[in-house]
Amino acid sequence: MRKLSFIFLAAAAVHLPAAEPQSGLALTWQVGEATAATVTPNLWLFVRAGQSPSPFVPAGRFTATFEGFVNIDLRGDYSFHATGKGGVTLEVNNEVLLDLKGIGGVAKTKTKTVRLNKGANAIKVTFSSPAKGDAQLRIFWSEHPDKPLPHEPIRSGQLTHLPTAPLALASLVETGREVFIEHRCQRCHAIDGRKGKGIPELAMSGPSFAVIGDRRHRDWMAQWILNPKAQRKSARMPRLLHGKTAPAEAAAIAAYLASLKGPPKPAVEYPKPDFKAGEALVGQLNCAGCHTLPGAAAEEGKLSLTHLNAKFPMGELAGFLRAPNSHYAWTRMPKFALTAKEAWDLSQWLRLKAPAHAEPKRDEAAAVIAHGKKLLTTLGCINCHNHEGDNPFTAPNLSALTADKWKGGCLAEEPAGQSPHFGFSPAQRTALRAFAATDRQSLNRHEPAEFARRKMRVLNCNACHGELDGFAKLDPIGLKLRPEWMQLLLEGAIKPRPRPWLSHRMPAFPARAKPLAQGIAQAHGYAPRTAPEPAAVNAKLAEVGRQLVGVDGGFSCIACHGVKNREPLQVFEAQGINFAQVGARLQPEFFLRWMLDPLRVDPQTRMPTYFDKDARSVLVDVLEGDAKKQIEAIRQYLRQGNKMKIPVMQ
């Protein structure tokens, strides 16, 4: 009864926005008697057999109900189709267009043509998972049902829903869970009832203390330990020291950490930096997307770099920029594969702009260092940070923290007793308490699509995607790229870079690469691993494809696209990706839609259109002028990767 009362109190605290349509569709999951609500950007899902469809419901056969509106600018005729595995009912403006117990191929699931009104059209999709195997759903539509063109995704922004109190509370719980995870609360409060591996972040630790005395200045560490939020408002590390003795204790811990050094380093003669090159890299890497640069005014949500000289000893910033994850696998700082010279030039430009700092030399007393070591091990520091040695610190198991206890301790408005003080905002405390009112089993359930959406927000991916030239919007990325290729890209393992001519660079996040790539795929209705092609490369068709990309009787694709070690012949506006990479990179369905009408897929692309709305080709003597057959021939050629033969290029 206490938990139920708390849920009602949390619901009362939710501030409902005005009843204006919000982006995405309302989605309700149901597994047995358990239900969960959320907002989803599309009509796609993929749930592995035995996996929970949402962190907030258990594994088992489920029903997913999508509700909201599909919005169009002008009245017109449309058709829909569904693919996947399971049962689906599709209603538009209260008319049932599909009612299938099992989803088959496109031909079996294409709806009749239906007239949609200008503005909002009510849409409801009810999906039931299959009795066995993976669950999958992907619903597309066509604005040209009379044309032989494939159905396409409903564009971003066309799906909306009306806010409700249950959705607002569900969003609050999701936020509370995210705050709990990102502040690593699970590192101190053990989670009971774990089955399987749980969420990936259960392994997420803070920076290692190994040789930290070489990597950070002592005085900066003392100030950071004393009050992290005074140094960075968004700091997730709590304040552990309180009262009059706090400054001395912080200094003692910093003294101990400063003593953790590696073997003496040989004298280094630092090269003269190229400040212009360093400044250029600041723009190329879009540092300002996440940071305020030294000397710039503070901006909400961005990390200031003013402190760099106070934090990093000479030479250490360059090392950090080259491998930010070397001592902190789960860092949010991207890995840009910088060369030693690039990292040096960039670091020195940043240091030039930051306030100067002279670190005083100190000979710390052994007693101070010993006191700092004792404090570090007893305050719980090594619950989050990797460090050798005993860890006597204990905290209550999560199950012992009943909802009524989430008002004091770590969640107190002001430091209280010996509890860590995170300095949570009122909104964060409200969200955490809403999460506390649940059974918290969502921490044991890894749902890849939810993980991907959350991590793309935490990593601030939209600071570059959709903002910088060459960085496409993230909405369709899972429809476009195969998960295996995405994983390699996020690991920084794609060589050479797909677009080496772009000044901006795609960063790597190695610790998150695999679950992030798989989650992006599943959020778009694809399996976490691409199914093998049903047949080997059709050599005869691939040879036709080789002719089609060439200049002799083909489309002259090699004017803009390189082939293996051959550069493109003549780039008119924008260079394309080397053909040796395309086959392993793109999903076949996306490739077909892209080739038929590139501008419809991406209005900003410079890729020309070669086929008409009737899927006919100007090369009428090749494969009967059938655009789809010609595109498949090109795809068969591209499937060969580095084994492909060079097309006619002159």
**Which of 344, 322, 316, 351 shows the shortest CA–CA distance to 334?**
322
| Residue 604 to residues 51, 81, 470, 593, 600, Cα–Cα distance (Å) | 38, 27, 10, 16, 9
Residue ranges of E strands in 50-92: 63-72, 76-85, 87-92
Pairing of strands 135-142, 76-85: antiparallel
CB atoms closer than 10 angstroms to residue 43: 27
Residue corresponding to tokens 């100030």: 223
Going by pLDDT thresholds of 50, 70 and 90, the confidence category of residue 3 is: very low
Residue ending a domain, among 312, 335, 353, is 353
Q: Tell me: do 347 and 227 sit in the same domain.
A: yes
Percentage of the residues of the chain whose pLDDT score is greater than 70: 96
Task: Give the pLDDT band (50/70/90) at residue 589.
Answer: very high
Say yes or no: 335 and 390 in one domain. Answer: no
DSSP state of 97: E
pLDDT higher than 50, residue 12: no
Is residue 377 assigned to a domain?
A: no
Are 145 and 231 within one domain?
no
Give the pLDDT mean for 398-425: 88
Confidence label for 7 from pLDDT (cuts 50, 70 and 90): very low
Which pLDDT score is estimated for 109? 79
Q: How many domains does the chain have?
A: 5
Confidence of residue 363 (pLDDT cuts 50, 70, 90): confident
* Whole-number average pLDDT of the chain: 92
Position 378 in a domain: no
Domain holding 79: CATH number?
Answer: 3.90.182.10
* CATH assignment of the domain containing 304: 1.10.760
> Cβ(503)–Cβ(284) under 8 Å?
yes
Q: Kindly state whether residue 488 falls inside one of the protein's structural domains.
A: yes
245 and 341 inside one domain = yes
Mean pLDDT value across residues 249-259 = 97
Do residues 506 and 633 both lie within one domain? no
From 461, 490, 523, give the residue that closes a domain.
523
Q: Is the pLDDT of residue 71 over 90?
A: yes
> pLDDT tens digits, residue range 283-334?
999 999 999 999 899 898 899 999 999 999 999 999 999 999 999 999 999 9
**Predicted local confidence at residue 416, as pLDDT:** 74
Q: How confident is the model at residue 108 (pLDDT cuts 50, 70, 90)?
A: low
| pLDDT at residue 521, rounded to an integer | 98
Whether residues 285 and 238 share a domain: the answer is yes
Residue in 180, 251, 173 with CA at minimum distance from that of residue 422: 180
Per 3-state DSSP, the chain is made up of helix, strand and coil in percentages (nearest 5) of: 35, 15, 50
Q: Are residues 518 and 621 in the same domain?
A: no
- Nearest alpha-carbon partner for 66 in 106, 108, 102, 24: 24
- Residues with Cβ < 8 Å from 132, sequence gap 6 or more? 49
Q: Are the beta carbons of 62 and 135 closer than 8 angstroms?
A: yes
Residues 342 and 216 in one domain: yes
For 227, residues 6+ apart whose C-beta sits below 8 A from its C-beta are 239
Look at residue 126 and tell me if it is in a domain.
Answer: yes
Q: Is residue 13 part of a domain?
A: no
Residue 430 vs residue 476, higher pLDDT: 430
In a domain, 413, yes or no: yes
Inform me whether the pLDDT recorded for 2 exceeds 90. Answer: no
Q: Which of 247-256, 268-277, 398-407 has the lowest mean pLDDT?
A: 398-407
Q: Write out the DSSP string of 562-584.
A: -BTTBPPS--SS-PBPPHHHHHH
Please state the rounded mean pLDDT for residues 45-54.
97
CB-facing half-sphere around the CA of 388: CA atoms within 13 A: 3
| Centroid of chain to Cα 646 | 37
- Whether 31 and 149 map to the same domain: the answer is yes
Residues 6+ apart with CB under 8 A from 419: 408, 409, 410, 412
Same domain, 220 and 349: yes
- Per-residue pLDDT band for 4 (boundaries 50, 70, 90) equals very low
What average pLDDT does this structure show over 498-516? 93
The answer on pLDDT for 258 being more than 50 is yes
Q: Please indicate whether residue 414 or residue 354 has the higher confidence score (pLDDT).
A: 354
Q: How confident is the model at residue 409 (pLDDT cuts 50, 70, 90)?
A: confident
Q: Is the pLDDT of residue 532 over 90?
A: yes
Domain assignment present for 179:
yes
Sign of the CA dihedral with 58 first, then 59, 60, and 66 last: positive
The pLDDT, as a whole number, for residue 362 is: 86
pLDDT band at 13; cut points 50, 70, 90:
very low
Q: Which of 55-64, 245-254, 603-612 has the lowest mean pLDDT?
A: 603-612
* pLDDT band, residue 404 (cuts 50/70/90): confident
DSSP string, 298-335: P-TT-EE-TTHHHHS-TTHHHHHHH-TTSS-TT-SSPB
Residue where the block lists tokens 């949500």: 301
CA 114 to chain CA mean position, Å: 36
Residue 348, Cβ density class (10 Å: 0-12 exposed, 13-18 middle, ≥19 buried): buried
Domain boundary among 523, 553, 580: 523
pLDDT of 312 reads 97
Task: Please report the pLDDT score of residue 194 as a whole number.
Answer: 56
Per-residue pLDDT, 604: 85
| Domain presence at residue 16 | no
Distance, CA of 178 to CA of 412 (rounded, Å): 19
pLDDT tens digit sequence for 615-627: 999 999 999 999 9
- Same domain for 346 and 288? yes
Owning domain of residue 300: 212-353
pLDDT at 173: 98
Interatomic CA distance for residues 59 and 31, integer angstroms: 7
User: Is there a single domain that holds both residue 288 and residue 311?
Assistant: yes
